[in-house]
Amino acid sequence: MKLIAISHPEFILNEAERINALFRDGLLRLHLRKPGGDIADLNRLLGKIDPEFYPKIALHHHHELAAQYGLTRLHFPEKLRNDTPETMFQKLKNAGFQLSTSIHDIEQLSELSSAFDYTFLGPVFDSITKKGYQRIVNDDFCLKEDQKTIKVIAIGGINHSNIHKIKQMNFDGAAVLGAIWNSEASDFQFLKIHKLQFISNQTAGLSHLESIKLALTAGCRWIQLRVKNQPENEVLEIAIAAKELCDSYAARLIINDFPHVVKAVNAYGLHLGLNDMQISEAREIVGYNMIIGGTANTFEDVLLRINEGADYIGLGPFRFTTTKQNLSPILGLDGYRVLMQKLSEQKLSIPIIAIGGILPDDVAEILATGIHGVAMSSALIQSKETKETVQKLEEILC
C-alpha cells in the first residue's frame, strides 16, 4: 500500500528541512498543496528542497512552476479538474506527466479521465485538519475492485492508529496530512519506523553478518544487530562491518543493548530492554535525535516506555521462540488486541512493533490489531525463499 504525505496547507517554519528529512526517512511521495498560497512563497520552498527529491513531488497549484524545477507530477484538485478540458489531461499525459486528482464521492470514480494515475477519495475518517469535514464512509466500507477505474488513495483523518483500516477497505494507499504536521512527535515519528525489522542472529550455519547480508539482499531495510553474550569490543567489530553493509543497501542499522557502540559506528538507532540501561541515560550517550526503541510486555511497560520518550516499542513475545532466552509471558493475538484497545481508549499512540516467534502468516492478523509493524529473526533466516517472503511481507505491511 502506498503512503503519501500531503504538505501542511500553510507555509511553516523549517518546512523544506522537514520535507527533506521525510524523504531521507524513506517517504516516496509528497503532494505539495498550498491552497491560496503565493507563487513566490511556493517557488522559495521548492528552491530549498533537495533536487534529488523533485521526482517524488506532486504539485497541486501553480503548475507553471513544474517546468522550472523539472517536476513531472501534477495534481488537479476538484475545481481545477472541472475547469480543465479533457484534451489537456491527455496532452499532459502524452508529454510524460503523471496526473492525480481528488474526489469526494465514490460515484465520481466512473467519470474520471483515464489520463489520471490515481485519485484521492475522502475524507475516510473525520478530518484532523478540516474541522467539521465529516467522513464519507464507515469502518465497514470496502471499495469494490470494479469501482476502481484508476488507483484510489484514501485521505482525511488518517493517523497511526487507524491507517491499518485503509487496507481492509481495499484502498490502494493512504494520504496523510494532519498526523504528520499537526500532532505530537510520536505521530510524526511513525513514518520513520519501518514496519519490517530484521533481528540478526548467529546460527549453526550463519554468522551475524551473514544473516544481515541475507536479509538485505532479500529487501529488508531495517536491521537490528542483536549480539548476545559477547564483550562490547567484539560487538563493536561486528557493528562496524554491519554498518558498512547496511550503508551499501541504504538500510537503517539499529544496535541492541550497546549505546556506546551505536555512537561509535553512527548507527541509526538503539534498542533497549526493560533490564537494560534506562532510555534517559542512553540519550546522554547517543544524543537526543537518535531513534531509541524500548521493549514492553505489559500495558504498564508501554506507558513507562512512552513516558521515557521511546520512539517505538518492541512488544513481545507474540509466541514462544528459542531466539531469546528468559522470555516474558506470551501475549498472543488477544494480548495485542487488549493492549491496543487500552492504548486507543487512552488516546495514546506510538509505533508498536510485534516480536517473538512471528511467522509470515501471522502478520495480517497482527496488523489488524493496530500494531505498526513486526520484527522477525528465525522466520526470515529459516525461510527457503527469503526474497519472496520479504516481498510478500512488504505487500501486507505497506
Ligand X SMILES: Cc1nc(C(=O)O)sc1CCOP(=O)(O)O
Ligand Y SMILES: Cc1ncc(COP(=O)(O)OP(=O)(O)O)c(N)n1
Give the contacts of 386 (CB within 8 A, at least 6 positions apart).
Answer: 214, 215, 217, 218, 380
322 appears as a binding residue in the annotation:
yes
Q: How far is the CB of 295 from ligand X (least distance, A)?
A: 5
Within 200-239, the residues that bind ligand X by CB under 6 A are: 226
Our finding on whether 208 is near ligand Y (CB under 6 A) is no
* Cell numbers that stand for 20 in this block: 527533506
Spatial separation of the C-alpha atoms in residues 34 and 10, rounded to whole Å? 6
* Cell numbers that stand for 22 in this block: 521525510
Spatial separation of the C-alpha atoms in residues 72 and 95, rounded to whole Å? 9
353 binds, options ligand Y, ligand X, Mg ion, none, Cβ within 5 to 8 A by partner type? ligand Y
Indicate which single residue of 316, 357, 370, 373 sits in contact with ligand Y (rule: CB under 6 A).
Answer: 316
* H/E run at residue 58: strand 57-59
Indicate which single residue of 78, 117, 232, 276 sits in contact with ligand Y (rule: CB under 6 A).
Answer: 276
Closer residue to ligand Y, CB minimum distance, 3 or 193: 193
Within 236-295, the residues that bind Mg ion by CB under 5 A are: 257, 273, 276
Within 93-132, the residues that bind ligand Y by CB under 6 A are: none
Q: What's the full length of the chain, in residues?
A: 398
List, as one string, the DSSP characters of 18-41. Answer: HHHHHHHTT---EEE--TT--HHH
Our finding on whether 81 is near ligand X (CB under 6 A) is no
Indicate which single residue of 376, 390, 393, 397 sits in contact with ligand X (rule: CB under 6 A).
Answer: 376
* H/E run at residue 339: helix 332-345
Our finding on whether 295 is near ligand X (CB under 6 A) is yes
Our finding on whether 295 is near ligand Y (CB under 6 A) is yes
64 close to 37: Cβ distance less than 8 angstroms? no
Spatial separation of the C-alpha atoms in residues 307 and 304, rounded to whole Å? 5
293 binds, options ligand X, ligand Y, Mg ion, none, Cβ within 5 to 8 A by partner type? ligand Y
Feature table: binding site: 224-228, 256-257, 276, 295, 321-324, 357
Residues lying near ligand X in the complex (CB under 6 A) = 199, 226, 295, 314, 316-317, 321, 323-324, 327-328, 355-358, 376-379
Feature table: binding site for Mg(2+): 257, 276
